[in-house]
Amino acid sequence: MKLLNNIDFTIAIAPNATSIEQDLLYIKSALLYADSITLISPMASTFFQLTNEADRKNDRTLYSLIDKVLPFCISSDPIACANMQPVLEQLGQVLYSKQWKSIPTTLKMQTSKALKTFGCEISEALIKLLGETNCNELIDLVKKEKVRLYNFQNQFSNSPDDYVHEFFDILTRSVSNTQTFPLFDNQSNNLIKSAINENIITLNDSNVFNAQQAGLTNALLVALPSFEYATTSEILDIRKELDTALIRFRGKMLSYNSEIQSLPWDEEFEPECFRLYQKEIAPSVLEIDELTKDSGFLKNLGYSVLADDSALKSAGGLILSVAAAGAVSTFTEIMSSDAAMLTTGGVYAVGKLANAYKEYRDKQKGITRKDMYFYYRAGKILSKKHGKRS
């Protein structure tokens, strides 16, 4: 089993993606499992650059960003984009002309104002295209430093070959890095597969292990009930609540790697993950579910106290009050009562309750220490929050 102090995921989404919905889906599974995340996403990177006030203050930078993002906005508002294109080209000719410095200040201010207006319109169209909720969630994660964004050095509109080359370069570096777990979308996986087939990159055992682990955990976590409906805030809350259980889950997931022979970009990868789920994970989750159903405190009391004739005779109405008012709260109240007020039957019942509660707690500890408890419990929480929508 591989030991790591920090589990880092690198998520890559192909340049031609025109949505960050897929970004968020990959991010959520990584948030639930990893300690740190780097996102390689041209769409997300462009969005952050375009909405960055510092970038919008420089006319040439703003022009470059608008020119870069305009193609992504066509599906959102094709008429507006078509009208902007010729005007934007004219602005570009003015901005990058040798005479720019000698142009009157009034004209420069008009040009700057036009660019800022275009920038706002494009930004609004981009948010509409990407979805305001998705944008806000991603902004929040970046601000909280839960997600790091890779900043592209090249501009797609000015040098598409260099831009694609940079994307491919960061993909190959990520998949060859033994310190991170690469989690790529289908198109990015296809690029890596082609590079391997052409002997452009060669992976060692650690690289293979990391790719399998990232792909396997993502495949399992996104399959949790109602996972697609959960917000990133809810995912972070689940992660916080189940932090201890996650340690055991990670250990189990790392050991499952030996069951997977293919890689995320291979056709057999998803079927292998499914077979592993059916063989190992589903039975483990079912076992935890059954143990949980059998470990209810009131149910244990029914077996250990109510089924005991002597207990029924001596405990009197005490047991009924426990069942009616709630076992744990009543148990606490009884234990804090004046001992002199307890009858012989009451003392006997308290002893039986104490034993039943201890058995319950022991069972609960055993359940929460199961390797797959994290996966089981995360699914239960998501089902409770969003079950009606699935």
Q: Residue written as tokens 């998949």? A: 175
Point out the domain boundary residue: 71, 104, 138. 138
For the chain, how many structural domains are there in total? 2
Look at residue 274 and tell me if it is in a domain.
Answer: no
Name which residue leads in pLDDT, 206 or 370. 206
Look at residue 361 and tell me if it is in a domain.
Answer: yes
pTM of the model: 0.73
- Give me the pLDDT at residue 160, please: 60
Pull the structure tokens for residue 210.
């990391």
Residue 306 confidence class, pLDDT cut points 50, 70, 90: very low
Look at residue 200 and tell me if it is in a domain.
Answer: no
For residue 359, give its domain range.
297-368
- Give me the pLDDT at residue 130, please: 80
Mean pLDDT for the stretch of residues 329-356: 46
Point out the domain boundary residue: 138, 161, 186. 138
Torsion of CA 173, 175, 181, 185, to 10 degrees: 110
Question: Per residue in 104-115, pLDDT tens?
Answer: 888 778 878 878
Residue 300 confidence class, pLDDT cut points 50, 70, 90: very low
Pull the structure tokens for residue 144.
């909280």
Contact status, residue 154 vs residue 163, Cβ threshold 8 Å = yes
Number of residues written out for the chain: 390
Look at residue 382 and tell me if it is in a domain.
Answer: no
Burial class (CB in 10 A: 0-12, 13-18, 19+), 238: buried
Look at residue 42 and tell me if it is in a domain.
Answer: no
Look at residue 230 and tell me if it is in a domain.
Answer: no
Q: What element of type H or E holds 70? A: helix 59-73
List the Cα angle 84/154/65 in 5-degree steps. 25
Contact status, residue 254 vs residue 213, Cβ threshold 8 Å = yes
Mean pLDDT for the stretch of residues 49-72: 72
